[in-house]
Structure formats: structure tokens, C-alpha cells
Amino acid sequence: SSMEFEGEIAFKNVSLVYEDTKIKALDNISFEVKKGETLAIIGRTGSGKSTILSLISRLHDPTSGEVIIDGISLTKANLTDLRNSIGVVPQDAFLFSDTIKNNIKFGKENATDEEVIQAAKYADVHENIINFKDHYETMIGERGITLSGGQKQRVSIARAIINNPEILLLDDCLSAVDTETEETILNNLQIVCKNKTTIIVSHRVSSAKNANKIIVLNNGQITQQGTHYQL
Ligand code: ATP
């Protein structure tokens, strides 16, 4: 039988050296995120932000230290349950050559039209979609229209919202939207993901606006940690 994780995440002295390149991407990282909290990880390109997310999805194991979820080491967690509890919105959204609706519903094929529209509204892409000729039935990709980078990112966020994961990992997924739209989406996420654990990775400090905690990463090390107010 499968179980969902609650979403309490802790890193304990985690380091990661990529074997092929010998790059030390993370150097003695420790932090905690409680269930329902939002953590923002801010840092320049190459600082190790995506690597932190990849450890949570267990795409890699730490070279040393431990990643703990709901009090148990990730190495002892059931991988299927783990991945079913996590929704990842990547930097570059992967969209299919299919309708916008089917792209939003991907992973939750039984979603109703109302749920699709609600998710698109939260992701601030509904207005764009209803301006397309075939609305939610509009084909995108090679057999249809080309979405802008920011529209793709927002469709990808709608997809994550509709799947309603306990743990939401946002990997610089608002980089192509302006800061005003970013703020709207972050405020909506705060409502729709109220009890979910959210980690948002960004190179922009503005992404940390609603976070309970902020980590500043530099060269794989935490250089600052605190609330928006403290930093
Ligand atoms: P960006 O904002 O550009 O995505 P980031 O902060 O997410 O950067 P990471 O992608 O975690 O940073 O990369 C941290 C370091 O690890 C970089 O020096 C990068 O080149 C290296 N790195 C990342 N992924 C791998 C990999 N799969 N194999 C080897 N080295 C990697």
C-alpha cells in the first residue's frame, strides 16, 4: 500500500560531490522545513540550488550527511511514495504537443474542466488561454501555437497545482515572468498550497517574499539564513 509523506524536510550536514566532475556542489548544508512552511533558496547560478532539490527527490544521495523526511532518512524511504508526494516545477517546463487542457491535466487525467480552469487561474494563465482561438482546446507545440517562456512556466505551475502534492519544489520556475506576475502567483500559491511544504529556488530575492524561511546559497554553502524581515 502507498502512503503520502507529510512533508517535513531536514538536511543534516549534507555535502554533495558530483563524481564525474568532482565539483563540490553542496558543502555542509543544514536546514529544516516544517510541514506547511515555505522555504526560499536564493543564490546565483551554480550555487547549488537545483542540487538541493535533486536530493529531496532522491535523484542523488548525499556524499556525506543526511536528508530526512518526516523523521526518517531518505535512504530508507519508499521511492515511489516519495516521488508521489512531490511535485516539481522545473526551470524549463516540459510541455507536450497537445491541447493546453491536456498539458495542465497531465498527471491527473481525471481532473474536471473546473479544476483545470481553477488551476490556470491560480497560475495566472487563464486570461491568456481564453484569448487563444480554441481556448483550453488550443493545441500547443509543434502541431499548434508556440507559447512564450513565461506562459509555458505558468502552464507548468498550473499542472503542479492540479496535482496537489504534499511537497512542492519550484525550481526557478518564475524566471520568465515579470515581478508583478510573480507576486500574483506567489500570493495564489500561498492560498492554494497553504498546508503544503513548498521550496522555491530562485536567483531573485523577490521570490522569497512569502517564505517563512530564506537560505542564501553561495558556492554550495549557506551564507545567510533567516526570515525576509531579518535579511
Ligand atoms: P542554476 O541557477 O544555474 O540552475 P544552481 O544554483 O541550481 O544553478 P546547481 O545546478 O545545483 O546550481 O549546480 C551546482 C554546481 O554543480 C555547479 O557547479 C554545476 O556545474 C554542478 N553540477 C550540477 N549538476 C551536475 C551534474 N549532474 N553533474 C556534475 N556537476 C553538476
Give the pTM.
0.94
Q: Are strands 221-226 and 213-218 parallel, antiparallel or unpaired?
A: antiparallel
Q: Give the H/E segment covering residue 119.
A: helix 113-122
Adjacent-strand bridge partners of 40 = 200, 214
Q: pLDDT at residue 1 above 70?
A: no
Provide residues with CB under 6 Å of ligand 1: 18, 20-21, 23, 25, 43, 45-51, 172, 203
Distance from the alpha carbon of residue 114 to the mean position of ligand 1, in angstroms: 38
Q: List the domain range (segments joined by +) for residue 196.
A: 9-226
Of ligand 1's listed atoms, the one at least distance from the Cα of 52 is 11
Domains of the chain: total = 1
Q: How far apart are the CA of 133 and the centre of ligand 1, in A? A: 40
Centre of ligand 1 from the C-alpha of residue 167, in Å:
22
Dist. CA 64–CA 100, nearest whole Å: 43
Mutate which of 21, 44, 59, 218 for ligand 1? The one with the most ligand atoms within 8 Å of its CB, which is 21
We report the CATH number of the domain holding residue 111 as 3.40.50.300
For residue 231, tell me if it sits in a domain: no
Please check whether residue 113 lies inside any domain of the structure: yes
Exposed e or buried b per residue across 208-231, where buried means at least 16 C-beta atoms within 10 angstroms of its C-beta: bbebebbbbbeebbbeeeeeeeee
pLDDT in tens, 83-130: 999 999 998 888 999 999 999 999 999 999 999 999 999 999 999 999
The residue length of the chain stands at 231
Q: Is 190 part of any domain?
A: yes
